[in-house]
Amino acid sequence: MSNTEDQNMKLISPLEKIVKSSIQIYVADPENMIPQGFGSGFILKYKGDFYLVSVSHVTDYNLTTFLETNLLDEEHRPLLKPIGGLMYFNLLKGWDGMSSG
């Protein structure tokens, strides 16, 4: 996120910040791309790396997980991007110096 985007995010309401920070997640069979489930999450940047944060009941299926990109395909439908490398944690504890902003 650029400095300008970061400054703009500080000027909006907490509810609007949540909405703008959310990303739609879908699970589907990659052969037919018909969503079998959906939910939401957000992208977290930590020490230069990006992480998708959601809950396991959104993505824990024997299907492929896709993120909605807010781009349109040739037929003007939302473009879905498949992702992999998901890890699940039962509990993630904070640490000293951890900040939410």
pLDDT tens digits for range 10-59:
677 877 777 777 888 989 888 887 888 889 888 888 888 888 888 888 88
- Dist. CA 58–CA 76, nearest whole Å: 25
Q: Please, are residues 94 and 47 in contact by the beta-carbon 8 Å criterion?
A: no
Classified as helix, coil or strand, 8 is: helix
Average pLDDT over the chain reads 78
- Dist. CA 54–CA 34, nearest whole Å: 21
Which residues in 14-50 are b (16+ Cβ under 10 Å) and which e? eeeeeeeeebbbbbbeeeeeeeeeebebeeeeeeeee
